[in-house]
Chains A and B, each alone.
Chain A
Amino acid sequence: MLTPDIAHFAWRSLEGARTRSLLMVLATSIGVAAVVVLTSLGEGARRYVRNEFESLGTNLIIILPGRAETVGGGAALASGRTAHDLTIEDAMALRRIRGIEHVAPLNLVEGEVSARGRRRDVPISGSSSEIQHIWGLSTASGKFLPPQDPRNAAPHCVLGSKVARELFGTESPLGQYVRLGDRRFRVIGVLAPKGEFVGVNMDDMVIIPVASAQVLFNLSSLLRVGVMTRSREDVPPVKAEIARLLRERHGGEDDVTILTEDAISSAFDRILVALTFALGGIAAVSMAVAGILIMNVMLIAVAQRTSEIGLLKALGASPRQIRFLFFAEAVLLSAVGGVLGSVVGQAGSFVIRRLFPAVPAFAPLWAVSGGLALAIATGVAFSVVPARRAAALDPALALARR
């Protein structure tokens, strides 16, 4: 039998049983659509997280005091060791390293800022002029913290756009004073609106020199040091050199944690890829349900078409041909269902992208092709039993019935 004839014959029998065929197409397409939509959500989450990290800059290194790798905080305490502080001097020492573009010490504290009798609880950053480049900030008016020795506790500050508006209204805050704790700071700049960034609303932020923050809040250690390398390629050697230098400065102890954007985001990446696979897998289970439905419906079809199968045998169809005809029906159905399902699924992810623009919900290629392949495989696998049954029908008996 010629292949187009097999396909044509199968198509005609499917047409002859519309409801049954539509049911199977529906079951399959739901399975494929589920795979496409769920994996596109997983992939969307992955891309969202990756974008967030990349907005940090791909040539960023973050240094935290203490070792994250010790087995919980308890181990370090039990041995009686206290981690060395991460100091402004440590940050300054890093400047010597080749390949580093910017170094910014950072402290971050929630505190109260007041001016003209208005008070706000805001995040207060203690840092240096270079944090501007690391965070990608720009000023709407005035200027940012001037480059100077970070040990200098100068009494000036830069306000986020929202906090500036809330404290000073439409008036320009430049040259005015705000109060932080028991000190007065002169406003030298206002940030352009930026919104949420690395989990902090930049528009609420007050930025002061790092030494001022340490005095104001009585801090001995930095929260972290941000480092920006000249290029992405500089990250690994710079990271190694930072580790070496800080070990030397901390009496031979590895007591800082050095994070790179790459390491963090690839860790998240792995987790979210695993999640996406898991979602795809869960959705694929619905395909098994579709498979069982297909099998049952096909078994009914074989029973209903007993006399037709007997006739085909009488006309010289071999058992193999009969099996092929039923396989062809299953493949056609599941292919149609699969294509329909991926179209519906893609439409679904499109809607998700429209509703949540931050989540780039694109189904990964492996999920779309895998879903289709799985649909067809399911169709074939679950039609084995019905096709065998059809091929094994006794033609004499099948034809005896009218």
Chain B
Amino acid sequence: MITLRDVSRTFVLGGESVHALRGVNLHIERGEYISIMGPSGSGKSTMLNILGLLDRPSSGTYELDGQDVTALTDEEQSRVRREKIGFVFQFFHLVPRLSAAENVELPLVLAGAHPGERREKVMRLLTEFGIAKRARHRPDQLSGGERQRVAIARAMIMEPAAILADEPTGNLDQHTGGEVIHLLEELNARGMTLVLITHDAVLGGRARRHIRTLDGRVEGG
């Protein structure tokens, strides 16, 4: 489903080049569960951003579902991102002024879905994730674990092909983190492709396939 060919990403910072990714090749099948581990600054987030079309490779190609997405315009990329990718972040990134339900609804709103359809989908997902009672609460009224559940629900609402999670447990205690991983694994068990960045070797070890990044290169890809 996902194929990176010789992907490099170079940042120019104050006249100096930082090679965040160097000639990465990676193939991910639909439904896979992959963990990416590696020291800080080794290029994990950069790779995930490229997979999620939040960033473009400096060189190399990225094929998603048989389509070379590096050639797409920003507008076209945002459409692909909306339909195929769900993001989960370390810092949740919920919109503070919106309720849990409204946060989950946001991708549907951006996609132009109609209110009736939206409400039904949102409630179904919140119920499934055990946070239906929190639907009207704002993020600052939720616990960390609840916030991440809301964020995962939001990532799932468009029924994407893949979930990309960048240290989703980085801001949670071990117990809550475990629950969140459990939820993600459940989704994977139902066929969702899952790419998980983590610092935690135990959590990372649960994935069926492990990738290690080091200084912009990938081992085990």
Contact = CB atoms under 8 A, between A and B. Distances in A.
A316 B52 contact: no
Interface stretch (A180-188, A226-234, A307-315, A352-360): A307-315
B25 interface: no
A395 B164 CA distance: 15
A400 B89 CA distance: 9
Interface in A300-341: 307-308, 310-321
Contacts of B112: 1-2, 5
A358 B97 CA distance: 53
27 contacts: A1-B112, A2-B114, A5-B112, A12-B97, A13-B97, A311-B93, A312-B106, A312-B110, A313-B54, A313-B78, A314-B52, A314-B54, A315-B106, A315-B110, A316-B158, A317-B78, A318-B74, A318-B75, A319-B75, A319-B78, A320-B75, A321-B110, A395-B54, A396-B49, A399-B89, A400-B45, A402-B91
Given A314-B54, A315-B87, A315-B106, 9 more contacts: A12-B97, A12-B98, A310-B93, A313-B54, A315-B110, A319-B74, A319-B78, A321-B110, A399-B89
A313 B87 CA distance: 11
B111 interface: yes
Given A308-B95, A311-B95, A318 B78 contact: yes
Nearest to A6: B109
Interface of A: 1-2, 5, 9, 12-13, 15-16, 307-308, 310-321, 394-396, 399-400, 402
B168 interface: no
A47 to B, nearest CB: 49
Contacts of B158: 316
B79 A315 contact: no
A1 B79 CA distance: 12
A319 B55 CA distance: 14
Given A315-B107, A319-B74, A396 B54 contact: yes
Nearest to A2: B112
Contacts of B111: 1, 316
Contacts, number: 74
Interface in B32-88: 45-46, 49, 52, 54-55, 74-75, 78-79, 81-83, 87
A122 B151 CA distance: 91
Contacts of A315: 82, 87, 106-107, 110, 154
Contact of B109 (A1, A15, A320): A1
Contact of B110 (A1, A12, A307, A310): A1
Contacts of A319: 74-75, 78
Contacts of B79: 316, 318
Contact of A316 (B49, B96, B107): B107
B148 to A, nearest CB: 14
B52 to A, nearest CB: 7
Nearest to A307: B93
Interface string B189-203: 000000000000000
Interface string B89-107: 1110101111000000011
A257 B155 CA distance: 86
A394 B53 CA distance: 11
A5 B83 CA distance: 19
Given A396-B54, A396-B55, A400-B45, A316 B93 contact: no
Nearest to B160: A316
A394 B158 CA distance: 23
B56 to A, nearest CB: 10
Given A13-B97, A396-B55, A314 B109 contact: no
B97 A316 contact: no
Given A5-B109, A321-B110, A396-B55, A316 B78 contact: yes
Contacts of B75: 318-320
A314 to B, nearest CB: 5
Contact of A314 (B46, B81, B90, B98): B81
A277 B55 CA distance: 52
A395 B49 CA distance: 9
A9 B74 CA distance: 22
A48 B89 CA distance: 69
Nearest to A4: B115
A394 B109 CA distance: 22
A311 B103 CA distance: 11
A15 B110 contact: no
Nearest to B98: A12
Given A16-B97, A396-B49, A402-B91, A316 B54 contact: no
Contacts of A314: 52, 54, 81, 87, 93
